[in-house]
Amino acid sequence: MSLHPPARRRRAATLAASTTLALALIAGGALSASAATEGTGGQSLRALAQRSGLRIGTAINTDQLGSNARYDEIAASQFSSVTPENVMKWDAIEPQRGKFDYAAADELIRFAKQHHQLVRGHTLVWYNQLPQWLTDIGPSLTTKQATAILKQHIFDEMTHFKGRIWQWDVVNEAFNEDGTLRDNLWLQKIGPSYIEKAFRWAHQADPKALLFYNDYNIEYGGPKQDGAYALVKGLVKKGVPIDGVGFQTHLDTQYDIPDLRTTMQRFAKLGLKTAETEVDVRTTLPVTSVELSAQKAGYSETLQACLLVKACISYTVWGFGDAFSWIPGVFPGEGAADIYDEHLVAKPEYTSLQTVLRTANGVPRR
């Protein structure tokens, strides 16, 4: 999967190579010495965010939940919303056709209820993490069969979780970088109307859930954002039940920080809610102090953008511990993208988020 912003966004080299090297050499010690002090009680991220009417969330790795006490403690004390990182995806909940496994997702929902957290459901219609049985039969499906399978999936999963999901990512990552629709099974078999159909079925299945379109790189202006904008504008105009747009916000210090305030306002003007749904800020390892500064800016600017846009109802990090991040597996040589380190000690990025929320001081948003 390419999560790189458009090439023209690539940052010009900001440092002479010699400076980078020098900083890299001093970085390890400097960073661990500056580990942040984590706030608890009224200074926790969730308590501070609540004062601004914002939910602050995290993706949850359910392998850690219930087996790592420190992980549980942070998940419960710092966040007011949770997203299953993998366990609500189709391959996880229906590994064999007609045989469902909701155990891990149900466990997460129990945890969320216990800790007064809301749940973002992720995700119903995607090209990735489909069960093997579906990948196998996919090419031979007729339009009618594919439509029936997708509809059944949305009803099965949403009915199971009915009333327990705050926001659903109904359709995920439907666009290519050039703003055309991604060539996935649903486009091939059903055509572009699969998106509209998915939202209509989702609303029938759980009328109270907020229904989101979710994607990456739409944080940046350009054809992909324009494609998503045209899509959701068309859906709104037709009265299709869509409530919001999720901006995944997977950033990398080698690219610019997107102007999410302007972008989210653009979508909010259509009457939609917005959310930052998968924030992380990766960088090349080892982290230099300059890159750390860019990571802190990445977190604080994106959170500020959410606070400055009233329609932005939640800010979610894609996991909180570097040891469990998806980044090193997909971007070799990169990492350190999260707000806690490998030992679940709060990093300066954590403090950046805390400072933004503290400074906002619960003043009403407009």
Instruction: Provide the annotated active-site residues.
Output: 173, 278
- DSSP annotation of 50: H
Shortest Å, Cβ 214 to ligand 9MR: 8
Say which residue the tokens 């069969």 belong to: 145
Shortest Å, Cβ 269 to ligand 9MR: 25
* 270 class by beta-carbon count within 10 Å (0-12 exposed, 13-18 middle, 19+ buried): middle
Read out DSSP for 170-234?
EEE--B-TTSSBP--HHHHHT-THHHHHHHHHHHHH-TTSEEEEEESSTTSSSHHHHHHHHHHHH
Q: Which of 120, 184, 198 is nearest to 152 (CA)?
A: 198
Buried b (16+ CB within 10 A) or exposed e, 155-193: ebbbebbeebbbbbbbbbbbbebebebeebbbbebbeee
Shortest Å, Cβ 247 to ligand 9MR: 11
d(CA 214, CA 190): 20
**Rounded alpha-carbon distances, angstroms, from residue 322 to 84, 201, 223:** 17, 37, 32
When the beta carbons of 27 and 92 are compared against ligand 9MR, the nearer one is 92
Read out DSSP for 240-269?
----EEEE--EEETTBPPP-HHHHHHHHHT
d(CA 45, CA 232): 31
d(CA 199, CA 294): 37
When the beta carbons of 80 and 172 are compared against ligand 9MR, the nearer one is 172
Q: Which of 81, 169, 180 is nearest to 122 (CA)?
A: 169
When the beta carbons of 23 and 231 are compared against ligand 9MR, the nearer one is 231
Shortest Å, Cβ 131 to ligand 9MR: 14
d(CA 332, CA 266): 35
- DSSP annotation of 353: H
Q: Which residues pair with 169 in a beta bridge?
A: 122, 212
Residues that bind ligand 9MR (CB under 6 A): 1, 85-86, 128-129, 216, 248, 278, 326
- Lookup: tokens for 77: 């004390």
Residue nearest to ligand 9MR (CB): 326
Shortest Å, Cβ 3 to ligand 9MR: 7
Shortest Å, Cβ 174 to ligand 9MR: 12
Shortest Å, Cβ 61 to ligand 9MR: 8
